[in-house]
Amino acid sequence: MTDLPRFPLAVLPTPLVGAPRLERALGCGPLLVKRDDLIGFGAAGNKTRPLEYLLGAARAQGADVLVTGGGPGSNFCPAAALAARAAGLDCELVVWGDPAGAPNLALAVAAGATLRPTGGTDRAAVDELVAKRAAALAGEGRQPYAVPRGGSTDLGAVGFARAAAELAEQLRALAARPAAIVLPVGSGGSVAGLLAGLAPVLPEVPVVGVSVSRPLGEVGRHVLDLAGGCARLLGGPAPRPGQLRLVDGRGAGFGTASPQERDRARLALHTEGYLLDTTYGAEAFAVAADLALERPDGPVVWWHTGGQIPAAASLLATSLTAGPIAAGAPTGEEGP
Ligand SMILES: Cc1ncc(COP(=O)(O)O)c(C=O)c1O
C-alpha cells in the first residue's frame, strides 16, 4: 500500500474471529475480535505495527540506536526493545515513574535495552528527554533514531493504516458490515492510522476510540492531526472526523479498570481465553460489550490490541496471593 520502508516483524493478517462463548455469556449480539494479541512478535501486540515502519525508517537512515520511552506500564517500551534487537539496533528507553518491579520494563531490560529514568512522574516530559538523549548520542558519534512515546507519529500510524486495509479484506471475505470498530486509545497512533486507512475503503463504519489516558478534547485534536499526517504520507483521501467517536475510558485514572470492566475482562478470560490488561484491554472491551448488548445492525469489531504481559503478571500475582484453593481438602489421586 506504500513504498515507505518497512521492517517486517508481524505475522499478518492477524485473525478476525467470532467469540460465541463470550457472546452467550454476555447475552449480546455478534462480536468479531481482531486478534492483534496474536501478532506473532514477542508480546508486542498492536505496537508491532508502528514499529515496522519506524524501524524501516531507522534502518534506511543507517541508525544504530533506537531512543524512545514511556512509563512503567508501557507496552511500547518492551515492544521497541525487542524490535530494535530484531533490526540490529541498540535501544535506550527514557522512563518516567518507578521502573522497579514493572514487568514490561523488566522484559525490555532483558532484551538488552538501557533504561534512562527521568526521576519524575511527568509523562509529557518524556518526549523532550528522548530528543535530548538522541542529540547527546549523536554528539558521541552514534546514529540515533528518536521516537516519541507509543511510536505515535504520522509514520508510525502508517502501520495501523495497513491494518485497516487488512481488516477491510477480512470483512469482505466474511461479507460482514460492522456496526462499529472499537479500540483503546493511548498515545493515539493506532486509532489515527485506522482512520487514515479506512478512509479509502470503509469510510462509513463508526470507529469508537476509548481514551484511557487523556481528556476527550485533547485526544480528539491529537488523533485527527495524526490521522491527517498519516493520510498525507500515504497520498490517500483525508480521514473523516465524523467517523471517530471518542469515549472517556479513564474512570478512576490511567491504568485502573472499574469493577465492571474487570468483571467483563474475567468473562472474556473464562469464556475465550483472552488476556486483557487493566490499562487498555478491559476498558475497550467493556465499551465493545455495551455496544454489542444494544444488538446493533451488524457485528461489533473489538480490536484486542495485546497487553498480555501486564495482564498475565497481575493475574499471576493475584493467584499467588490467593493461596491454596482449599488447604487440607482431599487432593484426589496422589501423583507418582
Ligand atoms: C495493549 C495496548 N492497547 C492499546 C494501546 C493504545 O495505542 P495507541 O498508543 O496507539 O493509542 C496501547 C498503547 O501502548 C497498548 O499497549
> What digits encode the pLDDT tens for the residues 27-60?
999 999 999 999 999 989 999 999 999 999 999 9
Bridging pattern class, strands 180-185 and 90-95: unpaired
H-run or E-run covering 182:
strand 180-185
Determine the pLDDT at residue 332: 39
Distance CA 324, CA 125 (A): 44
Give the N- to C-terminal CA distance of the chain in Å, as an integer: 58
Testing ligand 1's pocket by substitution, the residue of 46, 74, 223 carrying the most ligand atoms inside 8 A of its CB is 46
Determine the pLDDT at residue 119: 93
Residue ranges and CATH numbers for the domains of the chain are 16-45+153-316 (3.40.50.1100), 46-151 (3.40.50.1100)
Distance CA 274, CA 287 (A): 16
For residue 333, is pLDDT > 80? no
For residue 326, is pLDDT > 90? no
Q: How confident is the model at residue 319 (pLDDT cuts 50, 70, 90)?
A: low
Determine the pLDDT at residue 254: 84
C-alpha cell at 102: 514493572
From the CA of 43, how far away is ligand 1's center (Å)?
13
From the CA of 306, how far away is ligand 1's center (Å)?
8
Strand order through the sheet with 90-95 = 114-117, 90-95, 65-70, 144-146
State pLDDT tens for residues 169-221: 999 999 999 999 999 999 999 999 999 999 999 999 999 999 999 999 999 99
Testing ligand 1's pocket by substitution, the residue of 155, 190, 314 carrying the most ligand atoms inside 8 A of its CB is 190
Instruction: Write the residue with the smallest CA distance to atom 3 of ligand 1.
Output: 305
Buried b (16+ CB within 10 A) or exposed e, 296-332: eeebbbbbbbbbbbbbebebeeeeeeeeeeeeeeeee
With a 6 Å cutoff on the Cβ, whether 170 touches ligand 1 is no
With a 6 Å cutoff on the Cβ, whether 307 touches ligand 1 is yes
With a 6 Å cutoff on the Cβ, whether 186 touches ligand 1 is yes
For residue 317, is pLDDT > 60? yes
CA-307 nearest atom, ligand 1: 1
Q: How confident is the model at residue 322 (pLDDT cuts 50, 70, 90)?
A: low
Q: How confident is the model at residue 318 (pLDDT cuts 50, 70, 90)?
A: confident
Across 139-152, average pLDDT: 97
Across 108-116, average pLDDT: 97
For residue 309, is pLDDT > 70? yes
CB 55 within 8 A of CB 41: no
With a 6 Å cutoff on the Cβ, whether 184 touches ligand 1 is yes
Across 232-253, average pLDDT: 95
CA-45 nearest atom, ligand 1: 1
Distance CA 293, CA 60 (A): 47
With a 6 Å cutoff on the Cβ, whether 152 touches ligand 1 is yes
With a 6 Å cutoff on the Cβ, whether 187 touches ligand 1 is yes
Q: Which three-class secondary structure state does DSSP give residue 41?
A: coil
CB 77 within 8 A of CB 93: yes
With a 6 Å cutoff on the Cβ, whether 249 touches ligand 1 is no
Distance CA 297, CA 274 (A): 25
